[in-house]
Amino acid sequence: MFTAKTIVELKSRLSELDSMSCVCLVPTMGALHQGHMSLVKRAVEENAVTVVSIFVNPTQFDNLWDLDKYPRTLEADVALLEKISKDIIVFVPSAEEVYPEGQNSESYDFQGLEEAMEGAFRKGHFDGVGTVVEKLLHIVKPDRAYFGEKDFQQLQIIRKMVELKKIPVEIIGCPIVREENGLAWSSRNERLSKAMRKEASFIFKTLKTVKKKFGTKSVKSVLDWAKKQFEERPDLDLEYIVIAESETLRSLEEKRPNTKYRAFIAVFADSVRLIDNIALN
């Protein structure tokens, strides 16, 4: 397994490869779990060269405490990647390498995609994500890049950024991977107590019922029902539940034909913030 710590090391390794090979990038912040593994497996299957970046990006955290608490498990991450393929190139840059001019985000206009949900509750978050992903795409110059649908708003924003900046890369969204009890895999799950991890399975259970009700009930009554479920669960603190168009992420007022919708949710389980979403039609 080749690990590059600097851009120079990475570029020199990539330059040794056949220039016709299809190169892909799986950007991560490490603490790899089954969700990441599914992205990496698919990337390895579909491309000749897979670069996995592991970089805890400081500019996308609106909260220093959260940045500090973010798990850093490089050795275990590399061991997991090695199980998939020894040919993966791991890029583990330092903050100085990625941000030589200081840790600042670019200011993007994602044409409204950034306004609701995560963008509303985590100020500056998507500018940080856009900045680091744009930098990584410029460094690696992949033909394809893989992102999970758990962060569906992030996925749509990256698609928009690539379109606006005319970056020649195909963005591939991959389905959410869940623990046995339905909880979406996230690096944050490790911070939950055993009891809370079980309790948090209620998030997906609720989303599945929202999907069922969405077929026959009004949006308002579905959302009111879901909010009430959380009022009865004092251990789970609902931050938002939103039904929005999948494409524009505009909050839904009236159902329209030929339009795809999703329900999005953010919940605090103790101090751990969990997000999830589900396709409704």
Query: Does residue 26 interact with ligand PAF by CB under 6 A?
Result: no
Q: Which of 24, 27, 169, 199 binds ligand PAF (CB under 6 A)?
A: 27
Q: Which of 24, 81, 129, 275 binds ligand PAF (CB under 6 A)?
A: 129
Helix H segments across 200-281?
A: 201-214, 219-231
Distance, in Å, from the CA atom of 119 to the CA atom of 106, rounded to the nearest integer, reads: 15
Query: Does residue 30 interact with ligand PAF by CB under 6 A?
Result: no
In angstroms, what is the minimal distance from the CB of 172 to ligand PAF? Answer: 13
Q: Which of residues 134-153 bind ligand PAF (CB under 6 A)?
A: 151
In angstroms, what is the minimal distance from the CB of 215 to ligand PAF? Answer: 31
Q: Site for ligand PAF (CB under 6 A): how many residues?
A: 10
What is the dihedral angle through the alpha carbons of 121, 173, 65, 62, rounded to the nearest 10 degrees? -40
Query: Does residue 29 interact with ligand PAF by CB under 6 A?
Result: yes
Q: Which of 4, 14, 25, 28 binds ligand PAF (CB under 6 A)?
A: 28
Query: Does residue 132 interact with ligand PAF by CB under 6 A?
Result: yes
In angstroms, what is the minimal distance from the CB of 54 to ligand PAF? Answer: 9
Residues facing residue 144 across a β-bridge = 24, 170
Q: Which of residues 53-92 bind ligand PAF (CB under 6 A)?
A: 57, 60
Q: Order the strands of the 49-54 sheet from edge to edge.
A: 2-4, 89-91, 49-54, 23-28, 144-148, 170-174
Strands 236-245 vs 144-148: parallel, antiparallel or unpaired: unpaired
Distance, in Å, from the CA atom of 114 to the CA atom of 62, rounded to the nearest integer, reads: 15
Distance, in Å, from the CA atom of 105 to the CA atom of 200, rounded to the nearest integer, reads: 33
Q: For binding to ligand PAF (CB under 6 A), which residues are involved?
A: 27-29, 57, 60, 129, 132-133, 151, 154
Q: Which residues carry out catalysis?
A: 36
